[in-house]
Amino acid sequence: KTMHELIDPGIHAERGRLFFLLDNMDSARAEMLTAIDGRRVRDSTHVVFLYESNSLYEQSLGMIYERQKNFPAAREAYEQALTEDLSNYAAHARLSQLQLAAGDTASAVNELNLAVQIVPDDPVLHYEYALALVQARHDAQASDQLRKAIAAVSFYAAPHLLLAVIAGVEQFDDQALAEYQRFLARAAWTEPQEKDARDQVATLSAKVASTSPPQ
């Protein structure tokens, strides 16, 4: 046996993740490919009582390719991860981002729909799904996903900002104002959109006040 065959594939995978954190993508890719190949060789030459999917390794490889801006290879790795395990919600989510970047909104929406079905209580997935739905011009469905994100984590600020923008587009000024205020109540002081949100609150407050019936 060669030295690579003697080393457990999991060790190569951990090395790959370490190199990823160190931003050494060439070494990360090499280690992850070795881990994937090692797992396949082991599965083909040994009696396997409990099959371990390569899905997480393929997903990690996709993230490495993304960092290298090799998007076709990243997409292929995520698709392979899902071939190995269709319940890998993170691979669905990563693949959706590549599809959005390529302008394939319909496929991205489909991938995120699958992801939130697999993990229905993940607020970030609901938020990412809402962003894709907005790009697909499905604002009502996006609003539903944003409310699910907020229900999962009440202090999550970003969904309130997107709800405010959607309400503003529909000219629901009262709703937009309330959502901007909720966003500001939850946003960190370093939030880059904080100033714009405060400007919107000032503008909408004046607008709502001017259109309110006299008491």
pLDDT tens digits along 146-171: 999 999 999 999 999 999 999 999 99
Token readout for 180 is 């901007």
pTM of the model: 0.83
160 Cβ contact partners less than 8 Å away, ≥ 6 residues apart: 146, 150, 179, 180, 182, 183, 186
Q: How far apart, in Å, do the first and last CA atoms of the chain sit? A: 88
pLDDT greater than 90 at residue 60:
yes
The pLDDT score that the predictor gives to residue 1 is: 43
Burial class (CB in 10 A: 0-12, 13-18, 19+), 135: middle
Better-scored residue on pLDDT, 40 or 170 = 170
Residues 65-122: tens digit of each pLDDT: 999 999 999 999 999 999 999 999 999 999 999 999 999 999 999 999 999 999 999 9
